[in-house]
């Protein structure tokens, strides 16, 4: 146990108005901060019940502190910190009793918003049908045992059924994950699941009483390290294992479609708009697309962080060229934004050495991220008659990465829901590119039929083999 005393709440807790699923570092550095500031600016009962669907870590970190924790704005010159008090309770779905309590919390009439940061893989979404993926392990388990749900969608629908029966009133389901049309995706899986395990009556009630606003979220949040916790204890004089690090920049764009009110997020910097789509496309393609490119190629080249990557002139030039030649030509410019300025600001964010965002961390769950971040941009370029060689190289980098062996022959710890399938497919194939392109869950049906795309990925993969990642990047820049 550290020598410093544990951080503790000072003053009263707000009443709960939000249940949030997925209380990881991003939520604590983003949603909870906006909500804390909104209540400070305009009041309201918008305390957050934070719910972990997997690990009890957040509960162990935050409950002894009565939900409060520290956010630290990482900066080489002027680091800043704040104590956030918007979390009023922390739950973890470890047992059936826990899950029943979580359902009861979401069904409470006082709860007006149920929000989510559960990553792309947490939705159990089948892009082919638009509804639930019945082969997804969590969804399949819930369909077998509908009275004992464990998935996010299963727990939400169970709570909505209670709200319907008890007259608890309407509620807003607010996805804050990085996937296109996240509100529409959440609506689709919730309604499909409701029809599958209950009756059309519940689905009809949800359609009439629940709103699903789309959002776009942006703040780089590197994983908190033991050194970060120790540094905070030294500078602040208290121990806070729940602290989170983040960059100064943040952007939250929200479709203003709430069933029964919301915090005054617009008074503390959030953008409430009629349509989020152009903003989310800008972010997914310009930021997330280059982030993933740097993650795979940078990891293979031996760079630990994004800042390390773009400190190298070749990798910085790779980003600049991708933005100019392959990404922004197929990104509509949102109202009030300038794409060139946006990308220039991204490079400044990437260069910040205080934001130690690890390439390995960003590389996680690539089978889920690749379609949204890179493949859609490739498809739009192909439709315009261009084969985007740089983004095809990013796909080849992903293929090398999920093969599980780096350029020095060392094993890569691939974290991906399809890691086993990807590794097995790569290992068993003489033509690894063709085999991986054949995985429809990642590449769909159309892209693998495009001769130019397949040839470009194969050529890039061969260059990664012969030149290494750094050499392949240099070769692309010379072309």
pLDDT digits (tens, 9 = 90+) for 356-406: 889 999 999 999 999 999 999 999 999 999 999 999 999 999 999 999 999
Residue bearing the bigger pLDDT, 479 or 314: 314
Number of residues assigned to the chain: 479
- Mean pLDDT over 77-90 rounds to 90
Vertex 438, ends 435 and 441: CA angle to 5°? 130
What's the chain's average pLDDT?
Answer: 95
Beta strand 271-273 pairing with 251-255: parallel
Residue with tokens 């550290």: 2
Q: Which residues does 143 contact at the CB level (< 8 Å), separation at least 6?
A: 134, 196, 197
Query: How many C-beta atoms lie closer than 10 Å to residue 478's C-beta?
Result: 6
Give the pLDDT confidence score for residue 455 in this predicted structure. 98
Q: Is pLDDT at 179 greater than 90 in this prediction?
A: no
Query: Residues 241-296: pLDDT tens digits?
Result: 999 999 999 999 999 999 999 999 999 999 999 999 999 999 999 999 999 999 99
3-state secondary structure of 297: helix
User: For residues 199 and 467, which has the higher predicted lDDT (pLDDT)?
Assistant: 467
Strand order in the sheet with 215-218: 215-218, 251-255, 271-273
Where helices occur in 126-262 by DSSP H, the ranges are 137-144, 152-166, 182-197, 200-209, 226-236
Rounded to whole angstroms, the Cα distance separating 25 from 150 reads: 22
Q: Give me Rg for the CA atoms of the chain.
A: 22
User: Residue 423: in which H helix or E strand, if any?
Assistant: helix 419-428
- The full set of domains in the chain, from first to last, is 16-273 (3.40.50.720), 277-478 (1.10.1040.10)
**Rounded average pLDDT over 74-99:** 90
Residue 382: both structure tokens together: 């192909």
- The first and second tokens of residue 200, run together, are 């059309």
Report, as an integer, the average pLDDT of 207-234: 95
Cα-Cα end-to-end distance for the chain: 57
Q: What pLDDT is recorded for position 78?
A: 64
Token duo for residue 462 = 């061969």
| Segment 1-53, tens digit of pLDDT | 568 899 999 999 999 999 999 999 999 999 999 999 999 999 999 999 999 99
Mean pLDDT of 154-158: 97
Taking residues 319-323, what's their average pLDDT? 98
Q: Per residue in 294-319, pLDDT tens?
A: 999 999 999 999 999 999 999 999 99
Q: 77 pLDDT band (50/70/90 cuts)?
A: low
pLDDT of 336 > 90? The answer is no
pLDDT at res. 325: 98
Write the CA distances from 54 to 122, 135, 176, 320, integer angstroms.
11, 19, 18, 38
Q: Rounded to two decimals, what is the model's pTM?
A: 0.85
Confidence of residue 171 (pLDDT cuts 50, 70, 90): very high
């Amino acid at each position: 146990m550290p020598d410093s005393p544990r951080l503790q709440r000072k003053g009263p807790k707000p009443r709960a108005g939000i249940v949030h699923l997925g209380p990881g570092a991003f939520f604590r550095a983003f949603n909870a901060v906006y909500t804390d500031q909104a209540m400070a600016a305009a009041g309201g009962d918008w305390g957050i019940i934070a719910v972990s669907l997997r690990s009890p870590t957040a509960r162990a970190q935050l409950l002894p502190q009565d939900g409060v924790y520290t956010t630290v704005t990482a900066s080489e010159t002027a680091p800043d910190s704040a104590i956030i008090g918007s979390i009023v309770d922390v739950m973890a779905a470890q047992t059936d009793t826990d899950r029943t309590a979580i359902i009861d919390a979401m069904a409470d009439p006082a709860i007006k918003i149920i929000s989510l940061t559960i990553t792309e893989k947490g939705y159990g979404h089948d892009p082919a049908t638009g509804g639930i993926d019945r082969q997804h392990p969590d969804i399949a388990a819930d369909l077998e045992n509908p009275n004992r749900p464990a998935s996010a969608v299963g727990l939400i629908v169970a709570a909505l059924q209670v709200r319907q029966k008890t007259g608890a009133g309407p509620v807003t389901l607010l996805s804050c994950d990085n996937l296109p049309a996240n509100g529409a995706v959440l609506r689709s899986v919730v309604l499909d699941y409701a029809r599958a395990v209950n009756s059309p009556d519940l689905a009809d009630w949800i359609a009439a009483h629940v709103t699903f606003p789309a959002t776009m979220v942006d703040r780089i949040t590197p994983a908190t390290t033991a050194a970060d916790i120790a540094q905070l204890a030294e500078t602040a004089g208290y121990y806070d294992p729940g602290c989170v690090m983040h960059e100064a920049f943040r952007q939250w764009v929200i479709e203003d479609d709430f069933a029964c009110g919301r915090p005054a997020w617009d008074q503390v910097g959030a953008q409430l708009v009629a349509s989020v789509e152009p903003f989310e496309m800008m972010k997914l393609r310009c930021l997330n697309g280059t982030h993933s490119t740097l993650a795979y190629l940078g990891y293979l080249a031996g760079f630990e962080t994004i800042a390390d990557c773009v400190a190298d002139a070749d990798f910085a030039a790779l980003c600049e060229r991708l933005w100019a030649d392959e990404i922004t030509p197929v990104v509509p410019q949102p109202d009030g934004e300038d794409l060139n300025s946006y990308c220039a600001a991204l490079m400044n964010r990437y260069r910040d050495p205080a934001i130690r965002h690890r390439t390995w961390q960003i590389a996680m769950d690539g089978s889920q991220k690749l379609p949204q971040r890179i493949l859609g941009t490739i498809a739009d370029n192909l439709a315009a008659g261009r084969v985007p060689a740089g983004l095809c190289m990013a796909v080849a980098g992903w293929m090398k990465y999920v093969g599980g062996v780096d350029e020095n022959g060392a094993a890569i710890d691939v974290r991906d829901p399809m890691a086993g399938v990807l590794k097995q497919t790569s290992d068993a194939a003489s033509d690894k590119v063709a085999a991986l392109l054949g995985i429809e869950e990642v590449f769909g049906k159309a892209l693998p039929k495009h001769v130019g795309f397949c040839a470009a990925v194969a050529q890039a993969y061969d260059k990664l083999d012969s030149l290494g990642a750094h050499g392949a990047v240099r070769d692309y820049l010379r072309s």
